[in-house]
Amino acid sequence: MKLIVGFGNPGDKHVNNRQNIGFKVIEILANNANIDVRVKKKKSIIGRGKIDNQDVVLLKPQTFVNLIGESVLYIASFLRINVKDVICIFEDSTLDLGDLRVDYVLSDIHHEGVISMEKGLKSDRFAKVRIGVGSPGKGEKMEEYLLKDFTDEEKLILIDVLNKSESVIFDLLRNDIETVQNKYNPEGAPKIKRRVVKLRKV
């Protein structure tokens, strides 16, 4: 079973915010797979069903983004889902709107929601789908920018981004993480050097 977590903040006023793009992807996945995401669990709203013949749980945390780890830990523990079977989707202000990256371990991202998940799960070994939302203009604070709605012009690009994000999730359900990274990341999957253990002569 896979746990797919969309980042976002609860409440009607945040529905179309840049920071709620993870919720948007969850809604598209749910709609296309006929999964009803309405069951309330501790600090969460979830839906269970199948995507591409795989059992999945779609999760919209209700803790606000910076405390997302609380809700992810509870659902993952309650349903006994392994960390490696967790996928999270969130906004990335270091990427232009329309750009997308797939991260795994040894990621350089600094995102409070991801950090909260890593602390809760006591691991960083889960897939991270980063969706570009652009960066704030001169003099604009990051927090204010992320809590703003997408402009009408951005919404035209957003449709393609959300469709591409859905395709990424399908690929993550079908393939290993390195294959997906090689497909979507311009730089491909990171080359992780394996530690060489030297044997000492006695």
Q: How far apart are CA 193 and CA 62, in angstroms?
A: 38
Residue 74 in contact with residue 5, Cβ under 8 Å? Answer: no
Residue 127 in contact with residue 165, Cβ under 8 Å? Answer: no
Per-residue pLDDT of the chain (202 residues; tens, 9 = 90+): 999 999 999 999 999 999 999 999 999 999 999 999 999 988 899 999 999 999 999 999 999 999 999 999 999 999 999 999 999 999 999 999 989 999 997 667 789 999 999 999 999 999 999 999 999 988 899 999 999 999 999 998 999 999 999 999 999 999 999 999 999 999 888 865 444 445 555 4
- Give the pLDDT of residue 109: 76
Residue 64 in contact with residue 43, Cβ under 8 Å? Answer: no
Residue extents of the structural domains in the chain: 2-184
* Nearest by Cα to 102 from 26, 175, 4, 185: 185
DSSP 62-87: SS-GGGHHHHHHHHHHHTT--GGGEE
Residue 33 φ then ψ, to 5°: -105, 5
- Give the pLDDT of residue 195: 44
Architecture of domain 2-184: 3-Layer(aba) Sandwich (3.40)
Crossing angle of helices 177-184 and 152-174, in 10° steps, is: 150
Q: Strand 39-41 relative to strand 100-103: parallel, antiparallel, unpaired?
A: unpaired
Q: How far apart are CA 177 and CA 192, in angstroms?
A: 13
Q: How far apart are CA 69 and CA 71, in angstroms?
A: 6
- Give the pLDDT of residue 201: 54
